[in-house]
Each structure stands twice: as C-alpha cells, then as structure tokens.
Amino acid sequence: MGNLAYIDLLIVVVYIVGTLVLGITLGRRMSTGKDFFLAGRTLPWWAIGFSLVATDIGGTDIIGVGGAAYSYGMAVANFEWIGCIPAMVVAAFLFVPIFWRAGVYTIPEFLERRFDARVRSALAVCWFAFMACNIGIMLFASARMMQVLFGWDPVVCVLTMAALVGVYTLAGGLAAVVYTDVIQCIVLIGGCLLVLVIGLIDLGGLSGLRAGLEAVQASGGTAAAAHPTDLILPLDTPTPFPWAGIYFGLGMILGPAYWIGNQAIVQRSLGARTEFDAKASYIFGALLKNLLPVIIAVPGLIALAKYPGLAQGDEALPTLVAHMMPVGFRGLFLAAFLAALMSSVDSYVNSAATLVTNDLYKRFLNPAASDERLLRIGRTVTAGLILWGILFALYLSRLEGSGIYAIFQTLLAFFQGPALAVVLTGVLWRRATAPGALTGFVGGVLCAVTLFAMNQPAVYGPMQWQPLFRIGEPFLYFSIWAFLVALVLVIVVSLLTEPEADDKIRGLVYGRDLPERQ
Amino acid sequence: MTPLHYFGDLVRDLLLRVPLGAVRILFVSTLAVLLLWVLRLPQRDVSGIATSGQRHNLRPWAAVALLVQLVIYIFM
C-alpha cells in the first residue's frame, strides 16, 4: 500500500493538525502539577472510557491482531475479550473507587499508604522501567511497520512520531493525552470499521466469509485453518493461545494486572471529576471493548479467506487495504494506525513522567515542592522521556534480528503477576502487611526469572534437561506461577507479622469502613 | 529432569485430559458468576451521582458488557 493519493495524505495531515491544535489549546490551561498529571481531576467518564481503549490498542496492535487472526484464527480476540472485559468490570466496582477516594497520583503512592515506602519504591521502579522501555519499543516497532507498509525511512518515522506526541503531551499533560485519545479512538474505530465493511462487501457478506474460511479449512496449511473462528483452543494447539494460558494466565492474571495495576491505564481514572465518572469510564470502556476484536481481528479472517497464501500474518491487513480500499480510505486507515500509535505512546510518556515526579522527586528528593515546581519537573521529565524513547528506538533498530524485542517483552512481563498479588491483597485483605507484600513481590519476580532461565537453551542444554514449557512464548505461564508464588508468600508472611494498624488502612481496604463519597 | 519438570508434566497431563466442552463450561461459568456478582452488588457500589446531580445506575451497562461476553463464549 505504498502509494498514497493526495486526498489520503490530506486526511492524515488534517488528523495530525487537529490533534496538535487540541493538545496545545488544552496546554494553555496548565498551571499546577495536579493539572498536568491528573488533568485537575476534571475528566468526564466518556473521555476516560475512549482513552482507556485507545491507550490499550497500540499502532502495532492494529496490524498485529489482524495478522495473528490471519495466522492463528480468532483465538487472538481472547486478549480483548476475556483478557479485558471481566477485569474492567471488577476494577470499576472494587478497585477504582478506592484508588480515586484515596486521592493519589499513582498506584505506587497508594501502596505506600497501604503498606510502606519499600513496596512503593519496588513497584514504581518496575513500572517505570516497563513504561520507559515500552516508549522506545512502540516507536521502533511502529516505525519498522511504516517502513514495510509505505517504504518510509524508520529513523524519520521515529523522530516525527516522537516530536508530534512530545508537542501535545508536553503542553497539555494528562488532559491533552485523554482528549486527543478521544479523537484517536474515534479515528481508530472508524478506520478499522471501514476495512471490515469494505472487506465483507467484497467477499459477498458473512456467507462469503464463511465460504472462504471453509475453503481454507479444507486446504489445511496454516494454524488458523484448523480453528479459524474458535476462541477456545486445545492445550496442545500449535498456536500461542492454548486454553490454559488464556484462562489462567491472561484472564486471571495479566488482564487484571493490566486494568487494575498499570499506572498508564489507572491514572486517567484518578483524574476523573467524580467517583462516578471514574467507575463509569471503565464500564464504558468495557462496552467498547466488546466491539474491538470484530473490527481489528475479523479483517485478518477476511484476508485469510481472500489471500490465503501470504508469507506472514502481518501482511494481511496491509494487503487488504492496498487491494480493497479506494483512494481516500487508505488515508483514513493510515490515520487510524497513527492514532493507535500516538494514543499509546502519549499515555506511557505521561504516566512515566508522573511516576518519576511523584514517586521519586516529590517523595524522596523534595517533599515540600510546590505544585508549580512539580509542573516544571513533570514537563522536564516528559521531554527527557521523549528523548530517551527516540534513542532507545534507534538502539533497538541496530539490534534487530537478535530477538531482543521478544526477550525484552517477556522480561518486562515478569513483575505483572507479583504486582497484581500485592494490589489484590492490599485492597481486599485487611490482614496483608508490608513485609508480606514486599516478600511476595520479590519472591514472585524471582520465581518468574527462574522459570524463564530454566526455559532457555543456554541453561537446559548443558544440563541435558528438556525445556520447562512446551510452547514458544510461555509468558502467560510465567505470570501464573509468579502470581501464585507471590500470593502464597504475601499470605504466609503477613500471617507471621504484626497486622497493620486500623487507622493506617482505613478507607484503603474494601469493606464496611468505606465511606460513600461523590 | 528436575522436580519442576515432573510437576510441570503432571499438571500438563491433567489439563490435557480436560475435554474442550468442559473448558467452555469453565469460561462461561466464570463470566456467569461475575454477572451474578454484579447483579448482587450493593446499590451504592454500582451507582453514583453525576455532575448533573442525577444518580445513575451502572449495573445494567456492566451486565450488558458481560452478557455479550457470555453469548460470545457460548457460541465461539
């Protein structure tokens, strides 16, 4: 789809200019750190709901989910359905109200109030490392994708994307991030919906899609051919989505860890104008999430029915767009791709800056810092993170082919299970103590690292062992065991240590002492 | 082979014996339990006062989100 007409480019330019104008306009209202990091706690539920969905769907997801559907079938939709919606509903009614009432800026800040500074610092460091690296990874992966799709220079793509996101995130903080996410989510949904509708019309509707998939099934060949529309796949499936990993790893651990404990996600609900808006945003997001796999995964199936011989799944959507989308609509799809990328990068930049400013600078270096000073620090850190993202993306481009990207993603997934165990017990169990939380978190991470090491050929080869897991990317299984080990350690050590004082944890644990406050 | 390998193989063998029909029941019943939980939550947990001053109930919307999931996991 390398050739774009002027009308396509015009659509992209209009989208970019609109985003920048909105972000810079909102930036004029910034005067304090609270404005910058929590949008002055003025955000309405509908804006946060759109922003939650836009943040979750990155630029690579637009292409990658369709590509995975092409390669493995609809089982990839589990990541948007069972991996998101139940966790969002639970978060809306159990966790988000408690976080919002606590009036905190970050989840680690909440954990210091509930436990102690050590637990706060351990989680803040892990989340910051995850977010900072993810900024570079997202920029690199998207630039690489734009090179493949449009033949654009990846270095120019990284620099351009970082500059665009940097301008409005630096100016407008969380408010700019959330309100530009609204535009980006609408563009994203519109662009993908268009691909779906045009693709289905071209195939002759749902019956045409069904017939095409049956033909692919009859010919065999790809992993998707066996179960193109099944969500639940057997344990020994050749795809990365066996049911046990999906149910226990994704549905029970990684999904809740993401929607309850990920600072980049939860931060926007902390900026809600009322507790009701905070809760409603998650429910609105859950309703939107029901739609997403239909518009981003089903086009992969359409490509499978129409072009069954592609070498790689990631070629599915670009091939579909290049062959089916008329002039003008390609620009809308490119705008959707850029929207998905920008909405994720801006959120991670803003949240990482919040962690550094709130959990490092204000907590340890300058507790008496004024709100205006925090705004200046937040903007400086934001600029630094953009620069870091550019440098890290360029560094990754030099390591391409070494597998560093996949290893990095796995390493970063290690702490999510233990972090969930700490947050869950902190909010739901009064008896959980600070030593228990810290021991559980450290023990869980060590468990994940050990399992990862035992699954590496460099470790099991010389010992003449077999790999510990039988699937290619067992990060879902790491998370299950790391969570279980962390949970057991939190419980055992908490029961062996002095309970936290009632005054300390009042209002921070789900139960009878929660006031109704709006 | 380490004890972890034996334990892992045991778990894997046990899970391989679970028929996919039972797995589907597991997925669906989890969603059903969650739906029941939402329907039984105290009113103060699922409602709130919007900036307009009106009290809104989020329970029906949460139920719709989960019902759609139930239908999806029953049939796909």
Give me the percent of chain A exceeding a pLDDT of 90: 24
Pairwise CA distance, residues A451 & A475, whole Å: 10
Say how many Å lie between the first and final Cα of chain A, rounded.
51
**Confidence grade of residue A518 (pLDDT, cut at 50, 70, 90):** very low
Query: Is the pLDDT score of A467 beyond 50?
Result: yes
The per-residue b/e assignment along A209-231, b for 16 or more CB within 10 angstroms, e otherwise, is: bbebbeebbeeeebbbbbbbbbb
The residues, any chain, with a CB within 8 Å of residue A49's CB and separated by 6 or more, are A280, A281, A282, A283, A284, A285, A288
Q: pLDDT tens-digit profile of A44-60?
A: 999 999 989 888 877 77
In 3D, which of A451, A300, A357 has the Cα closest to residue B5?
A: A451
Give me the residue from B4, B61, B76 closest to A74, CB to CB.
B76
Place of tokens 């739609």: A291
Token pair belonging to A419: 């972090």
Higher pLDDT, residue A459 or A305: A305
* Interface residues of chain A, partner chain B, Cβ below 8 Å: 44, 74, 81-82, 85-86, 88-90, 92-93, 97, 229-232, 234-236, 243-244, 247, 251, 273-277, 279-280, 283-284, 286-287, 289-290, 454, 465-466, 468-470, 516, 518
Q: Are the C-beta atoms of A97 and A82 separated by less than 8 Å?
A: no
Residue in chain A lying closest to B30 (CA): A86
- pLDDT tens, A320-360? 887 887 777 778 778 877 877 887 888 888 889 888 998 88
* Dihedral angle over CA of A26, A31, A33, A38, nearest 10: -40
How large is the average pLDDT for residues A468-475?
72
Quote the CA–CA distance of A219 and A216 in Å, as a whole number. 5
User: Token match 């639970």: residue?
Assistant: A90
Q: What is the pLDDT of residue A154?
A: 84
Query: Which one of B58, B67, B70, B75 makes the best mutation probe of the A interface by having the most chain A beta carbons within 10 Å?
Result: B58
**A228: confidence class by pLDDT, cuts 50, 70, 90:** confident
Confidence of residue A432 (pLDDT cuts 50, 70, 90): very high
Q: CA-to-CA distance for A252 and A518, rounded, in angstroms?
A: 30
Q: Phi-psi category of A182—alpha, beta or left, where left has phi over 0 and alpha has psi -120 to 50? A: alpha
**Average pLDDT for chain A:** 84
Choose the weakest-confidence range: A192-196, A485-489, B50-54, B65-69.
Answer: B50-54
Residue A89 and residue A273: Cα distance in Å, rounded? 20
ipTM score for this prediction: 0.91
Q: Are A307 and A319 in contact (CB under 8 A)?
A: yes
Alpha-carbon distance of A156 to A271, in angstroms, equals 34
Contact call for B72 and A279, based on CB within 8 A = no
Q: What does the pLDDT read at residue A225?
A: 63
Q: Output the CA torsion A166→A171→A174→A180 (10° steps).
A: -70
Q: Which residues of B lie closer than 8 Å to A, measured between beta carbons?
A: 1-2, 4-5, 8, 12, 15-16, 18, 20, 23-24, 26-27, 30-31, 34, 38, 41, 44-51, 56, 58, 61-62, 64-66, 68-69, 72-73, 76
Closest to B62 (Cβ–Cβ): which among A89, A289, A466?
Answer: A89
CB contact under 8 Å between A466 and B1, yes or no, is yes
Among the partner-chain residues A82, A283, A290, the one whose CB lies closest to the CB of B58 is: A283
Residue A514 predicted with pLDDT over 60: no
Residue range A33-54: mean pLDDT, rounded = 85
Residue numbers in B near A277 (CB within 8 A): 50-51
| Confidence band, pLDDT 50/70/90 cuts, at residue A173 | confident
- How far apart are the C-alpha atoms of A423 and A58, rounded to whole Å? 25
What is the mean pLDDT of the segment spanning B50-68? 88
Note the residue count of chain B.
76
Radius of gyration of chain B (CA): 20
Mean pLDDT to the nearest integer, A493-513: 85
pTM, 2 dp: 0.86
Q: Which of A1-5, A308-312, A467-471, B69-73 has the lowest mean pLDDT?
A: A1-5
Q: Where are chain B's structural domains?
A: 35-76
Model confidence band, residue A165 (pLDDT cutoffs 50, 70, 90): confident
pLDDT > 50? residue A89: yes
Give the Cβ contact number of residue A236 at 10 Å. 11
Chain-chain contact of A93 with B46 (C-beta, under 8 angstroms): yes
Give one DSSP letter per residue of A456-482, joined into a string.
SHHHHHHHTPPPS-SSS-THHHHHHHH
* Residue with more model confidence, A327 or A272: A272
| Cα A94 to the center of its chain, rounded Å | 21
Q: What's the average model confidence in pLDDT over A374-402?
A: 83
Most confidently modeled range among A6-20, A84-98, A384-398: A84-98
If one compares B17 and A468, the residue with the highest pLDDT of the two is: B17
Distance spanning both ends of chain B, measured CA to CA:
39
Does the pLDDT at position A230 exceed 60?
yes
Beta carbons of A279 and B44 less than 8 Å apart: no
> How does residue A480 score in pLDDT terms, banded at 50, 70 and 90?
confident
Question: How many other β-carbons are positioned within 10 Å of the β-carbon of residue B28?
Answer: 17
pLDDT of the residue at A400: 59
Q: Please tell me which residue, A462 or A120, carries the higher pLDDT value.
A: A120
Reduced to 3 states, what is the DSSP secondary structure of residue A237? coil
Least confident of A50-54, A242-246, B50-54: B50-54
Kindly tell me if the per-residue pLDDT of A150 is higher than 70: yes
User: Which of A102-106, A429-433, A487-491 is predicted with the least confidence, judged by mean pLDDT?
Assistant: A102-106
Which chain A residues are closer than 8 Å to B23 by Cβ?
A: 232, 243, 247
pLDDT score of A427: 93
Q: Which range is most confident: A22-31, A402-411, A417-426?
A: A417-426
